Chains A and B, each alone.
Chain A
Amino acid sequence: MIKIVDVTKTYNTGKVKFQALKGVSLDIEKGEFVAIIGPSGSGKSTLMNIIGCLDLPTTGKYYFEDKEINNYRENQLADIRNKKIGFIFQKFNLLSNLNTLENVELPLIYRGMDEKQRKEKALKLLQNVGLSNHLNHTPSELSGGQQQRVAIARALAGEPQIILADEPTGNLDTKSGKEVLSILKELNRKGTTIILITHDMEVAESAKRIVTIRDGLILEERVV
């Protein structure tokens, strides 16, 4: 489903060039649960941005569902993000001036779904994560765990094939973190491909395959 071949990424920060990825190749099959683990500065976030179509590689090829997307335009990438990928971030990244329901509706708005349909869908997703009593709360009125569950509902709203989770437990207490991980496991069991980015080995153990990355290169791959 995802095939990355010899990808590099170089950032130009003024005069200094920084190579975050130095030639990474990775295959991810449909229905996999992959953890990408590495310390900070290892290039894992860069890799996630590329996998998530938020950024394009400097060199190398990226095939998404067998299509090479290196030359895709911004709008085409936005379409992939909207329809194929669900994002879960460490800092939740909910919109602070929208309430819970509206946050979950957002990807569907950009997809052009009509109001009634998307409200129904968002409501159902929030029920699934146990937040149907918090529809009119803004993110600041929710706990971290609740916010992350809203974010999961939002990520699932577009019925994506892939969930990209960037340190989803990083800002949560142990209990909420476990809840989030069990939701991800459950999703994977139902067939969604999950890519989990973390620096925490314990979290990575939830996955079926662990890819370790360091200094912009893949160090080892191991199946759990």
Chain B
Amino acid sequence: MDFKMAIKVALKNIRTNKMRTFLTMLGIIIGVSAVIILVSVAQGTTENITKRIESLGTNLLSISIRGRGTEDSISMEEIEKLKNKKGIDSVAPVVNGNVTVKYETETMDVTLEGVDQNYSNVRNHHSEYGRAINPIDVEYRQKIVLLGSEVKNELFGDANPIGEKIQINGNDFKVVGVLEEKGSSLGGNNDEKILIPISTAQRFLRTTGIRNIYIQATSADIVEDVQVEVENFLLKKFNNDEDAYRVFNQAEMLSTMGEVTNNMTMMLGGIAAISLLVGGIGIMNIMLVSVTERTREIGIRKAIGAKRKDILIQFLLESAVISGLGGLIGVLLGIGGSDLITRFFSLNTKISPFILIISYSFSIIVGMFFGIYPASKASKLKPVDALRFE
């Protein structure tokens, strides 16, 4: 039997049982669209996280000091020593604390970071408008402040804060800039913080020691070398106590996160694939019913010369057409579904052509696979027995 005719016959049989075929297809439709939607959400989220980490710079090392005994921080002098090491582009020391800011009647609890002029480059966090912190601000312990975007929104709304005075724990600071929106990263929310000159902060928070340092390597390739060098430096300083400090490598974090989100994608895709499998069982079920119903037809076909292979192909094609059509509808629904999710839940989704092809071919494979048993059952019917069937 030629292929074209076989497809025609398959479509005809599907048309005679519209409702039943649709319900069977529904299993595949739901399966395929679920795979596409869930994987697209997972991949969209992955993309978001990766972008955020990358925006912090892949050649970034961040160091946090826990201390050993009374020695719980490093001094500005030691930071100057670090700056001269090979492969290090710049070093941004940070002192931080929690403070309450107040403007007119609005108050807010925020993180305060005392930073120097290198900070904005190293952390890749620049001023949206206004100016940045300059060396002269650090030198003269200026009482100026840069506001995170959320802090600005909370305190000032739409008004321009530049030049205004806010109170930090009761002290007046002049707003000179607003930071660009960054969203939250692993270090907490980047938009709910304020920046002041590091020298001002040391006096203000009554601490001179520095417990957070960001180091930018000259390139991403040598980050690991720099990390070793910095670790050696710290190991010496803290008398071989490895627990006294931690050095985070941004690139390392990126690959760890990549692993985590990959697992998430696989898991979501896997769960959805199970529903596709269940859809396949639905096809098998309905094809078995169909074989029984059409025993006489099979007998007639065999009597006039259909071979086992002809019957096998006919029934296989029928299940393949059901799953193929279902898969196609599922793909369209999946694309539409992830679009709706982006629109109404503002979740980033990303549909790769790869997952479309995979889920569609998987649906056809499932249909064929679960069609094999019913089709082979049909093809093995003896013509006499099939003809006698009422």
| A55 proximal to B (CB < 8 A) | yes
User: Which of A54, A97, A112, A115 is close to B303, meaning CB atoms less than 8 Å apart?
Assistant: A54
Is A97 a contact of B16 with CB atoms below 8 Å?
Answer: yes
Tell me which of A75, A93, A98 has the highest count of chain B C-beta atoms within 10 A of its own C-beta. Answer: A93
* Interchain CB contact under 8 A, B308 and A74: yes
Query: Residue of A at shortest CB range from B299?
Result: A93
A78 and B306 contact, CB distance less than 8 A: yes
Inter-chain contacts of B1 with A (CB < 8 A)? 109-110, 112
Contact A106:B304 (CB < 8 A) given known A95-B297, A97-B12, A97-B13: yes
Q: Closest B-chain residue to A158, C-beta based?
A: B305
Which residues from B are CB-within-8-Å of A110? Answer: 1, 301, 304-307, 310
Interface residues on A, range: 20 to 34
B104 within 8 A of A: no
Q: Of the listed stretches B31-39, B58-66, B264-272, B381-389, name the one at the interface; the rest are far from the partner chain.
A: B381-389
Complex interface: chain A residues within 8 A of B297 (CB): 95-96
Number of residue pairs spanning A and B whose beta carbons lie under 8 angstroms apart: 70
A62 within 8 A of B: no
Determine the distance from Cα of A55 to Cα of B1 in the docked complex, in whole angstroms: 23
Q: Across the interface, do B307 and A75 meet the contact criterion of CB distance under 8 Å?
A: yes
Q: Taking A74-B308, A109-B5, A154-B304 as contacts, is the C-beta distance between A49 and B16 under 8 angstroms?
A: no
- Contact indicator per residue, chain A 75-108, by CB within 8 Å of chain B (1) or not (0): 1001101110001010001111110000000110
* Chain A min CB distance to B291 (Å): 15
Residues of B within 8 A of A79 (CB): 305, 307
Question: What 1/0 mask marks residues of chain B from 1 to 29 whose CB sits below 8 Å from any chain A CB?
Answer: 11011000000110010000000000000
Given contacts A54-B387, A97-B13, contact A87 B303 (CB under 8 A): yes
With an 8 A cutoff between CB atoms, is B288 at the interface? Answer: no
Complex interface residues of chain B between 279 and 297 (CB less than 8 A to chain A): 296-297
A95-B300, A109-B1 given as contacts; is B305 within 8 A of A81 (CB)?
Answer: yes
> Closest residue of chain A to B306, judged by CB?
A110
A137 within 8 A of B: no
Please report the C-alpha to C-alpha distance between residue A206 and residue B382 in the assembled complex, in whole angstroms: 32
**Does A111 interact with chain B (Cβ within 8 Å)?**
yes
Q: How far is the CA of A79 from the CA of B387 in the complex (A)?
A: 18
Q: Are the C-beta atoms of B308 and A87 separated by less than 8 Å?
A: no
Q: Which residue of B lies closest to A78 (CB)?
A: B307
A158 and B223 alpha carbons, distance in the complex (Å): 80
Q: Could you tell me the distance in whole angstroms from the C-beta of A55 to the nearest C-beta in chain B?
A: 5
Distance from B204 Cβ to chain A, minimum over Cβ atoms (Å): 87
Assess whether B350 is interfacial by the CB under 8 Å rule.
Answer: no
Whole-angstrom distance between the alpha carbons of A202 and B303 in the complex?
Answer: 28
B384 to chain A, nearest CB (A): 5
B307 to chain A, nearest CB (A): 5
State whether A49 touches B384 (Cβ < 8 A).
yes
Indicate whether B302 reaches chain A with its CB closer than 8 angstroms.
Answer: yes
Q: How far is the CA of A94 from the CA of B303 in the complex (A)?
A: 11
Known: A97-B12, A97-B16. A55 touches B303 (CB 8 A): no
The answer to whether B382 and A55 have CB atoms under 8 Å apart is: yes
Q: Are A54 and B305 in contact (CB under 8 A)?
A: no
Contacts of A89 in B (CB 8 A): 387
Q: Which residue of A lies closest to B305 (CB)?
A: A82
> Given A109-B2, A110-B1, A112-B2, A83–B305 Cβ distance below 8 Å?
yes
Contacts of B387 in A (CB 8 A): 54, 89, 93
User: How distant is the Cα of A89 from the Cα of B384 in the complex, in angstroms?
Assistant: 13
Closest to B6 in A: A109
30 residue pairs from A and B, CB less than 8 Å apart? A54-B302, A54-B303, A54-B384, A54-B387, A55-B382, A55-B383, A75-B309, A78-B305, A79-B305, A79-B307, A81-B383, A82-B304, A87-B304, A89-B387, A93-B299, A93-B300, A95-B297, A95-B300, A96-B297, A97-B12, A98-B12, A107-B304, A109-B5, A110-B304, A110-B305, A110-B306, A111-B305, A115-B2, A115-B5, A158-B305
Using a CB–CB cutoff of 8 Å, the interface residues on chain B facing chain A are: 1-2, 4-5, 12-13, 16, 296-297, 299-310, 382-384, 387
The 9 A-B residue pairs with the shortest CB-CB distance in the complex, in nearest-first order = A82-B305, A110-B305, A107-B304, A55-B384, A78-B307, A54-B383, A93-B300, A54-B384, A81-B305
15 new A-B contacts at CB < 8 Å, known A55-B382, A75-B307: A55-B383, A78-B307, A79-B307, A81-B305, A82-B305, A93-B300, A93-B387, A95-B301, A97-B12, A98-B12, A106-B304, A107-B305, A109-B2, A110-B304, A115-B4
